[in-house]
Structure 1
Amino acid sequence: MKDRYEIAVVHGDGIGPEICRPALGLVDAALRQDGLMHWSEYPAGAEHFQATGDGFPEATRKACAAADAILHGAAGIPGVVHPDGTEVGLDFTLVNRFTLDLYANIRPIRLYEGVACPLAGVKAGEIDYIVVRENSEGLYAARGAGSLLRGEMAVDPLVQTRKGIERIVRKAFELAQQSKGAPSDGVRRVTCCDKANVLRSYAFFRQVFDEVALDYPDIETEYAIIDAMTMHLVLRPSHYNVIVTENMFGDIISDLAAATIGGLGLAPSAEVGVSNGLFQPSHGSAPDIAGKGVANPYGMVLSAAEMLDWLGHGNGDDRLLAAAGRIRTAAAEGLAEGHMTPDLKGKLSTGEVMDILVGKVAGMA
């Protein structure tokens, strides 16, 4: 347990500052201890690139590496790209992933009371699972390393290592052990999502999955081919508890999963390694609504709770765990009571929602 936690805050692009800045006040209110979080703000992103020619300054990189955790708003602006066509704003997230070895991308998927589910007949509490995405290998490991041959052929390698697979699968089983099980039957299970029927790299993923599973006999295991998984997440989402998969597959299905709970505005994300963690909502920078005060802050709020949980468990700090619980309770109550922004068919501004949430955590016993 520490006397103070150093948090590198990068607000980023578009709506990033509008949702990230008030989240700091919410965390402080939930902690009920001034100064426990030391917020240090640093620049990065597409807007900073446009102003300076550098999307991820060296000083920001060093601060992120040294911090106890990184809290990030949003990244990227359409059309702001490098000469090779890749987005400038993504540098912040991708560089941190690989340099800090943030191998586990953890995306909780939960349908809250008060939020309309686009799936017919599905109610709050019937969707509650975690997508655990391998974050340092897979197809995305090829970024910057692929080949474009004479303008005629492009190749990006898909990389899977035993070490990478084993540690992400182990993380998935650990999360299943800490969970309450799937909503439909209460069974703690880990689903391996792959394309083992076609590609050798995914067959290897499944092989290592089976080896690691032997260490967790209390957890049920199963497999799902990626194309079938997209159907299952629509037709029987309450069956799932923890899903573990490769980098690109996890990116795709976590967005599909977010759609079933009301959209990316409600989807938090944690990217963690052994000693570093990056926390940000799953949505983008939404430049079309930036500055209008209507951005949905719930994904940011829940990501901040994920940060407190990770720091609390890693440092044996019950103060942080209690604050994370207060924030999640406030978010659940806020949604159930209809305190929402226009994307969720609500009428409140970002600031109005945040004021309500701060009031709720401040009033909790």
Structure 2
Amino acid sequence: MTYEIATLRGDGIGPEITDEGVKVLRAAAEVTPGLDLEFTQLAGGADHYAEHGEVAPDSTWKTMRSAHAILLGSMGHPDIRMPDGTEAQGHFIVNARKSLGLYAGVRPIKLYPGARGIDPNQKHVDLVLVRESTEGLFASFGGGAEISGEVYADTMIVTRKGTERVARHAFELARTRSGRPQDGDRRVTCVDKANIFRSLAFFREVFDGVATEYPDVTADHALVDSFAMLLIQHPERYDVLVTENMFGDILSDLAAALVGGLGLAPSGDIGDEHAMFQPAHGSAPDIAGQDKANPVATIVSGRMMLDWLASRHDDDALRAAADVVERAVVTTMESGALTADLGGELSCSQFGDAVAATVRRLAAEAG
């Protein structure tokens, strides 16, 4: 079957890392019988806004809705801003999440071979943060209140529907995993500030209601401030985390420090009908065009895309392609083939070449 992938290369290092992600995905499709991936290049991003006065044309939004999935490179530039002072790329990403119903921001945090986290003795980091991506404090994006240029306010919005669906996504995800590294316990931890804010006490209450539907998965709670410390000290205690939008935004970047940085942090924005996959990091305009970026997060985001498509379409070819991409990344990094940020010597494109070659080699060895 042919799957159309709406592809936006983005800004800064976005085109470079997206090209490497597509290179590896093409290699996986090449060695997987019955699978064809068609990448449709679309316009959009901060540079597009600077030139055309819009973050993306109507044709981009239309194709994103009709495609089987969306692959997005890093987007944005700190100097390209809207009239209200906010960065242009946020208007693309937040609007995409809201208009396409991408309510579950899934951020895997996994320690890959050769990566160096903040604790060199820590060998057991394998958790997933699920961030509610359409409500919370981000519900005020593009709105909020302003009084005479002196007082500004943004309101946190938490709804029963929004919380139920993201909590259910977290529990369903936990059922597919091997549990927390510490003891294999399948667990979902609700991270909130329920002791202070009514909206987050409600978030926890709704979470607890959903938890009763999953007696095979342990449900527990954590307060976001103390949890930030515990996450760094004892990541092996955690399996799946579910949070409000802003808390998830902050904690997912913090958690990336456990595994070597945002260059190793993939993400997926997932809804019931659509999904968009992108690295969790920014566009790093200071190294754009220098072939220095680490494309691991983009490549693994592509693997997440294959997994999501496989589940949605019940397609074993997609499952096989996702598996070979993941194994190829691990095998390549185990061999010592690393980018400069990890102490290696490979450029961005050389690392992509190495992973694509490993995909082909693993497929040939499997017969």
Fold shared, TM-score > 0.5 on shorter chain: yes
1:97 alignment counterpart: 97
Q: Which runs of at least 4 in structure 1 moved beyond 4 Å after TM superposition?
A: none
1:343 alignment counterpart: 341
SS of 2:306's partner is: helix
Q: CA RMSD in A?
A: 1.1
Paired residues for 1:320-359 under 5 Å: 320-359=318-357
Q: Which sections of structure 1, spanning at least 5 residues, go unmatched?
A: none
1:362 and 1:66 mapped to 2: Cα distance?
30
SS of 1:227's partner is: helix
2:107 alignment counterpart: 107
1:234 alignment counterpart: 232
1:258 and 1:66 mapped to 2: Cα distance?
32
SS of 2:78's partner is: coil
2:144 alignment counterpart: 146
% same residue: 46
1:34 and 1:358 mapped to 2: Cα distance?
19
- Of residues 326-335 and 48-57 in structure 1, the stretch that sits farther from structure 2 once superposed is 48-57
Does the CA contact (< 8 Å) of 2:112 and 2:333 recur in 1? yes
Deviation at 1:26, TM superposition (A): 1.1
Give, as a single letter, the amino acid of the residue that structure 2 aligns with 1:187: D
1:78 alignment counterpart: 78
1:38 and 1:91 mapped to 2: Cα distance?
27
Give, as a single letter, the amino acid of the residue that structure 2 aligns with 1:276: H
1:51 and 1:153 mapped to 2: Cα distance?
32
Give, as a single letter, the amino acid of the residue that structure 2 aligns with 1:253: L
Q: TM-score, normalised by structure 2?
A: 0.96
1:251 alignment counterpart: 249
Give, as a single letter, the amino acid of the residue that structure 2 aligns with 1:273: G
2:69 and 2:243 mapped to 1: Cα distance?
24
Does the CA contact (< 8 Å) of 1:75 and 1:285 recur in 2? yes
1:175 and 1:274 mapped to 2: Cα distance?
14
Q: Which sections of structure 2, spanning at least 5 residues, go unmatched?
A: none
1:13 to 11, 30, 34: 11
SS of 1:89's partner is: helix
Q: Deviations over 1:95-135 (max 9, x none)?
A: 11000010000011001122122115212xx0000000001
Does the CA contact (< 8 Å) of 1:45 and 1:91 recur in 2? no
Does the CA contact (< 8 Å) of 2:190 and 2:220 recur in 1? yes
Deviation at 1:75, TM superposition (A): 0.7
Residue-pair matches, total: 361
Does the CA contact (< 8 Å) of 2:136 and 2:245 recur in 1? yes
Give, as a single letter, the amino acid of the residue that structure 1 aligns with 2:313: N
Q: Deviations over 1:153-198 (max 9, x none)?
A: 1110100000000000000000111110000111001100000000
Does the CA contact (< 8 Å) of 1:97 and 1:103 recur in 2? yes
Deviation at 1:341, TM superposition (A): 1.5
- Of residues 110-119 and 299-308 in structure 1, the stretch that sits farther from structure 2 once superposed is 110-119
1:220 alignment counterpart: 218
Q: TM-score, normalised by structure 1?
A: 0.97
